[in-house]
């Protein structure tokens, strides 16, 4: 399915999705946090899209917003898309988990939680993955201050 055909189909599911083709081969979709779970469920379960493979889940700090970027592929149809979701709530950033849709997301969401502090609601085991439980802050945020390295300098 072409990016244009994907966009035409997906835009009928949820109003107010933002589509861009940026400078890549992938159709990019930006979804509101409250519509994320619905969109992701449909992307996987709809036989015309059947995005059965989540091959990348990345946390990002855009400065004003925190968010997650998902790269999806259909191994059946051989098409790929990128889904972006953002929240302006830097104090309590919360998004729905997609680990019940794609099991591989469970590990990646823990990594994003660890480094960005994004909470994934209904995640079965959301805890730090790489950093110790007593670590203060989220080191991949742009506003993170590394106290130890400041003292050494």
| Mean pLDDT, the chain cut into blocks of 10 residues (153 residues total) | 93 93 85 97 98 98 97 96 97 97 97 98 96 94 79 48
Burial class (CB in 10 A: 0-12, 13-18, 19+), 1: middle
Residue 108's SS3 state is helix
Q: What is the pLDDT of residue 151?
A: 47
Walk me through the domains of the chain, giving residue ranges and CATH numbers: 3-152 (3.30.460.80)
Find where tokens 């889904």 sit.
Answer: 83
| The model's pTM | 0.92
Q: What is the pLDDT of residue 25?
A: 86
Rounded Cα–Cα distance for residues 50 and 146 (Å): 43
Q: What is the pLDDT of residue 45?
A: 98
**In degrees, to the nearest 5, what angle opens at C-alpha 110 toward C-alphas 95 and 64?**
45
- Using an 8 Å Cβ cutoff, are 52 and 74 in contact? yes
């Amino acid at each position: 399915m072409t990016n244009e055909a994907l966009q035409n189909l997906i835009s009928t599911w949820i109003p107010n999705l933002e589509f861009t083709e940026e400078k890549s081969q992938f159709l990019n979709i930006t979804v509101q946090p409250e519509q994320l779970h619905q969109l992701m469920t449909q992307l996987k379960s709809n036989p015309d899209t059947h995005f059965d493979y989540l091959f990348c889940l990345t946390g990002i700090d855009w400065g004003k917003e925190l968010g997650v970027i998902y790269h999806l592929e259909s191994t059946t149809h051989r098409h790929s898309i990128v889904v972006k979701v953002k929240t302006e709530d830097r104090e309590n950033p919360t998004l729905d988990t997609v680990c019940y849709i794609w099991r591989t997301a469970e590990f990646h969401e823990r990594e994003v939680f660890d480094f960005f502090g994004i909470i994934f609601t209904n995640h079965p085991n959301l805890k730090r993955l790489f950093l110790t439980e007593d670590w203060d802050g989220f080191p991949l945020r742009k506003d993170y201050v590394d106290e130890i390295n400041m003292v050494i300098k």
